[in-house]
Structure 1
């Protein structure tokens, strides 16, 4: 069985002597280096979180474009872009350009967003919900406009006296990247949003936390989410296959440095709490020797159900160490799970 294995970086930086990423420049340049290292290791994807008003990665498309120009095989994506902040037409231009640079390897994860560093940060970007809308509704509205534009149909009335000659008919957003519409994902926090995404032909991402819908462990709830997504996808009858991904914090312990960082940090239990006005379940971390990790991951129902696993990396420990974590998983854990 082929399981896609990638990394997910939040792109933290802090001006601390203990951090290998002390500036935004450090994070951006090291993200490119880590994506190249991941490709050399044999991993399948490089994904990045997007947070505004924070010392983290925020503007994905320059970074995705740079990685696309420096790599040749791996998928390049986000997990996730907060659509409350986005102009969907301008975003379609940026995404089309980045995908063309990467040769059609973008896998863009979108979502309605999570709690941010500031109150209603999207208002500073010039957006607000329409009358009767919630901010979640606004994010989904932006998303549907973005999806429609990616179809490549003309919609804009051409100027009868343009500066440059136009093709016949209504004009579309350029550059258009054929096939990108079929590589859009939605970060689903519930069964209902997973089904909604499937209906629109978006693949599904689920992270290390989700809305607590029944009090069960995260991996059990996520497996139910994924199965509901697959059923909704089949019922929608899309012409391309639906995909699902889960994110996990997994640290194979194969040397003394791993043991020093994570030897005492095997958190065996999920946690429940409140975030963004709803009850959520937060997933455990995995840190153990490869043989033990293999047995633990065999019991993770969501990992088994998904076709893609993203390892969250501690980017502030630097490129070399993050690459080591990824390589240790690819070489020592994935084969034991039948994935390589």
Structure 2
């Protein structure tokens, strides 16, 4: 059994060919798709965060709105770039969104991905400490956030406050109990997956990974997941680990599917560079008739290792079409593979 959700990058463009032409379209359609996915029986609605781009950026208003419109589906990010974040302000926003959703927030964090601008986090007022890389700064911000989400007091109260204080040191409010155990880390290497396991964060592994061994993408990703689970077991955490992988998967059922994805050019792994020195492997897309799709997906070792599958959706094709894509996987593919 697997949890199956969708992952949207929330693109928009003023092009006449786009069904999502403005930022308002992207936000409102994201809410509508989450509602539709819940009605279809999907388990999660996840959103990517990018800055300085025509994509979703500030996640908490969106997550809170979806939380108020739904009742069951998990709501999350995959991922928030922690180099840009103030952990204290983020803890307040996350606590509020989780309370609105009734404890359904699954917050995916990371050090980020290639950006639209050079060192964009500097514009947000953040700078690595001496001898610290920007990646290390992102992990430092994350560790601060994790401590804050425990809900322990740390701030000295004013002896003459405007309102009465509870006894002792004060914590940030609102605090949402249990959110600390629903934090995920987006990792592209085995080393950062092990680091996440030691800190008790769940693992998100996407369709891009540092090419560490030269093996096919799904095998490298499966090995990363196994290393993560072993590190989690060694750490002895009280709660159970979760692992998600994301995939572009399209069942070719009708003429729309064949028009959009019948000639998919990403049917094999791709090799590239995410910066001047980091060689990366990009996982393939899946687009085929249901019978062939079932066979191909059964051979994906990383999907087999994960407990959660996030379907990357082409959000600019509109809510109705994306709901169709999700429904096809839930009804025609997942049962045949034993996922549902």
Aligned counterpart, 1:138: 137
Aligned residue for 1:89, secondary structure, equals helix
Q: Within 2, Cα distance between the matches of 1:266 and 1:259?
A: 13
Q: Within 2, Cα distance between the matches of 1:37 and 1:266?
A: 29
Aligned residue for 2:311, secondary structure, equals strand
Aligned counterpart, 1:111: 110
Q: Within 2, Cα distance between the matches of 1:267 and 1:164?
A: 59
Q: Within 2, Cα distance between the matches of 1:269 and 1:86?
A: 35
For residues 35-50 of structure 1, the aligned pairs below 5 Å read 35-50=34-49
| Matched pairs, number | 339
For residues 223-262 of structure 1, the aligned pairs below 5 Å read 223-262=222-261
**What is the Cα deviation at residue 131 of structure 1?**
0.7
TM-score by length of 1: 0.99
Aligned residue for 2:181, secondary structure, equals helix
Aligned counterpart, 1:319: 319
The answer (yes or no) to whether the contact 1:266–1:287 under 8 Å persists in 2 is: no
Aligned counterpart, 2:81: 82
**After alignment, is 252-261 or 172-181 more displaced?**
252-261
Return 5+ residue gaps in structure 1 as ranges: none
Question: Does residue 280 in structure 1 map to residue 267 in structure 2?
Answer: no
Query: Which deviations, in whole Å up to 9, do the C-alpha atoms of 1:173-193 show, x marking residues without a partner?
Result: 100000000000000110000
For residues 28-177 of structure 1, the aligned pairs below 5 Å read 28-177=27-176
Q: Within 2, Cα distance between the matches of 1:57 and 1:267?
A: 24
TM-score by length of 2: 0.99
**What is the Cα deviation at residue 268 of structure 1?**
2.7
The answer (yes or no) to whether the contact 1:266–1:288 under 8 Å persists in 2 is: no
Query: Which deviations, in whole Å up to 9, do the C-alpha atoms of 1:215-273 show, x marking residues without a partner?
Result: 01110000000000000000000000000000000001111111111111163310111
Return 5+ residue gaps in structure 2 as ranges: none
Aligned residue for 1:246, secondary structure, equals strand
Q: Within 1, Cα distance between the matches of 2:34 and 2:267?
A: 30
Q: Within 2, Cα distance between the matches of 1:69 and 1:203?
A: 25
Question: Does residue 216 in structure 1 map to residue 215 in structure 2?
Answer: yes
Aligned residue for 1:37, secondary structure, equals helix
The answer (yes or no) to whether the contact 1:251–1:286 under 8 Å persists in 2 is: yes
Q: Within 1, Cα distance between the matches of 2:170 and 2:318?
A: 45
Aligned residue for 2:264, secondary structure, equals coil
Aligned counterpart, 2:337: 337
Aligned residue for 2:36, secondary structure, equals helix
